[in-house]
Amino acid sequence: MATGLLLSIALGACSPTIEHRPAEVIAVPVKDTPPADLLVCPAPPPAFPTDQVAPLPPPLRAALRGLVLHDRDERARFRRLVEWIAPGTCKPEPETR
């Protein structure tokens, strides 16, 4: 057992030393601007008519609510992307609940 330990210490001293250098940082400027049609702010969809009423079953109501919230979140995400590329392009969207 002691022989194995001594050999591992002795052989470890014979191994070549590896010089560790920090990685180089390479920054590449991005000059490509997306086409103008991709920098258009998303328009909110038209609202439901307020002069009509229809009962919706709970599963359908939940699915419709999920679609509306998903659309809202995607428009907000796209709006943030457009504002990051071309600041001041989008007007604030009105808050609706």
**82, 41 in Cβ contact below 8 A?**
yes
**pLDDT tens digits along 51-82:** 988 899 999 999 999 999 999 899 889 988 88
DSSP state, 42? P
pLDDT at 10: 59
Whole-model pTM: value is 0.55
- Compute the mean pLDDT over every residue in the chain, rounded to the nearest whole number: 80
Q: With 70 as the cut, is the pLDDT of residue 92 above it?
A: yes
**pLDDT tens digits along 15-60:** 667 777 888 878 777 777 778 888 888 888 888 888 988 899 999 9
pLDDT at 67: 93
Print burial letters for 43-55: b (CB count within 10 Å at least 16), e (below 16): eeeeeeeeeeeee
**Angle CA 69–75–80, to nearest 5:** 125
